[in-house]
Amino acid sequence: MSAFASGFLTSANQPQPKADRAPLRILLVDDDEDYYVLTRALLSDVEDQAYELDWKVSYDEALAALQHAAYDVCLIDYQLGGHNGLEILNAVRESGDRTPLIMLTGHGDRRVDQAALAAGAADYLFKAKTDAALLERSIRYAIEHARSLEALRQNEIRLAALYEQEQTRARELEHAYAELHHAEMLRDDLTDMIIHDLRGPLTVITINLDLIGQALSRLPNSESLPSLTNARTAARRVAWMIDDLLNVSKLEAGRLQLNFTPLAVADWLAEKQEMYRTQLEAKQITLALQTPAKLPLAWVDIELIDRVLDNLIGNAIKYTHLGGHIAITAEANAERLTLCVQDDGEGIRPDERERIFEKFARGTSSEVTATRPGAGLGLAFCRLAVAAHGGTITADGAPGRGTTFTVTLPLKR
């Protein structure tokens, strides 16, 4: 051992007490024993941190040590016999080892500096200018940098896992959507087929009932006329439900072409009042119209909106008790028409105000619902038809306090 090395051994072999920190394990790869001794001395001079220094002198020893032990930092001399520090650095990184590496050189060379940093070195130190403070700071920064990189890597792993989960979920949703779309297509095809198959026989039934009615009407005191009237009413109700089902299906699929024409709202409402007079009188219900002196024309698909109002008036009559009251109000501003159909019947629960517009949904609290079941398509049709016009329909009310349906429609297309 040289005099230079022996001069530092005493200090290195008698380290000063350190703070209660776990010692950092340092691997020095350098074939110069004097620099090993110097490094021990420099590390022993660092306050508040203890170090355990291992020394290897060759490329093979360094790789073997890194494979079998965990180090906080590795110091590598650039010139190492038949190899150089860059080869060790590259070999370590290729093995997947993420130990922070600091390159050492006895000659300042900017190209080596840049090559080392590009290869993944945490720092580059010129031996002749390295003191205890610089070495301590370089080691500390290398460790902190490695921790930051590891935290970043873990975050990338977590993000990659989350991304894969989201991709899996997206694929599952896409598959579920495709299955739902296929089921909807099958449903629409089945609906169209059922409607087509029912309409023919129903038309024959209706025509024959009319013919029978005409024949019976010529007979004196025919006891069969009331039964025939009930049969014709039932046939019309079935035809109505078939039309609702067809229109709902077309509206949902966006296959119903709207025919916008101007509607004189006040005259239209007066016609509705007269049309329902017989049904209203049968239950002793009064129907009041409340409209301003002048109402602008509304550009709507008259057939659809007519069906909407028929549904709302029909429901109001159905759920209003004997001697009740129904009011239809209309008002307009420069852009929108608002229609309200209000009754003092059984009303609806607050939790049903949205649900009743769903297809096949019906109220659960009504005695009428229990005794006179229906298809539950009327209000679903109303919402779809109004929405197709760019409007809205809402329901308000409470059990025992009646129900108010409010329809808002744009006046112009």
* For range 108-121, the mean pLDDT: 78
Residue 259 — very low, low, confident or very high, per pLDDT cuts 50/70/90? very high
Asked whether the predicted pLDDT for residue 320 surpasses 90, the reply is yes
Are residue 222 and residue 296 in the same domain, yes or no? no
Are residue 237 and residue 287 in the same domain, yes or no? no
Looking at residue 411, its amino acid is L
Are residue 35 and residue 58 in the same domain, yes or no? yes
| Residue-level pLDDT at 2 | 45
Are residue 271 and residue 228 in the same domain, yes or no? no
Are residue 267 and residue 326 in the same domain, yes or no? yes
Phi, psi of 378 (to 5 degrees): -60, -50
What is the β-pairing status of strands 286-290 and 260-263?
unpaired
Torsion of CA 65, 71, 73, 74, to 10 degrees: 0
Looking at residue 377, its amino acid is L
Length, in residues, of the chain: 413
Model-level pTM greater than 0.75? no
| Residue-level pLDDT at 363 | 58
Are residue 239 and residue 306 in the same domain, yes or no? no
Tokens in use for 192? 């169209």
CA-wise closest residue to 332 among 276, 391, 404, 379:
391
Is 141 inside a domain boundary?
no
Asked whether the predicted pLDDT for residue 362 surpasses 80, the reply is no
Asked whether the predicted pLDDT for residue 121 surpasses 50, the reply is yes
- Using DSSP, state whether 385 is helix, strand or coil: helix
Residue 319: its H or E element? helix 302-319
Is 59 inside a domain boundary?
yes
The C-alpha atoms of residue 254 and residue 8 are separated, in whole angstroms, by: 90
Give pLDDT tens digits for 43-68: 999 988 899 999 998 888 888 888 88
- Render the burial of 195-232: b for 16+ CB within 10 Å, e for the rest: eeeeeeeeeebbeebeeebeeeeeeeeeeeeeebeebb
DSSP 365: S
| Residue-level pLDDT at 361 | 67
Is 406 inside a domain boundary?
yes
Spatial CB neighbours of 230, under 8 Å, sequence gap ≥ 6: none
Are residue 242 and residue 300 in the same domain, yes or no? no
Q: Tell me how many domains the chain contains.
A: 3
* Residue whose entry in the numeric block shows the structure tokens 């209309």: 330
Domain span at residue 85 reads 3-130
Looking at residue 260, its amino acid is F
| Residue-level pLDDT at 375 | 55
Are residue 188 and residue 97 in the same domain, yes or no? no
Phi, psi of 72 (to 5 degrees): -80, -35
Are residue 99 and residue 81 in the same domain, yes or no? yes
| Residue-level pLDDT at 156 | 92
Is 138 inside a domain boundary?
no
Asked whether the predicted pLDDT for residue 14 surpasses 70, the reply is no
| Residue-level pLDDT at 8 | 38
Of 124-133, 300-309, 364-373, the poorest mean pLDDT is in 364-373
Are residue 264 and residue 401 in the same domain, yes or no? yes
Of 253, 286, 312, the last residue of a domain is 253
Q: CATH code at 61?
A: 3.40.50.2300
Asked whether the predicted pLDDT for residue 312 surpasses 60, the reply is yes
Of 253, 282, 313, the last residue of a domain is 253
Residue 20 — very low, low, confident or very high, per pLDDT cuts 50/70/90? low
Asked whether the predicted pLDDT for residue 33 surpasses 50, the reply is yes
* Residue whose entry in the numeric block shows the structure tokens 């921790």: 147
Of 100-104, 176-180, 373-377, the poorest mean pLDDT is in 373-377
Torsion of CA 60, 63, 68, 74, to 10 degrees: 130
Are residue 218 and residue 325 in the same domain, yes or no? no
* For range 230-245, the mean pLDDT: 80
Q: CATH code at 196?
A: 1.10.287
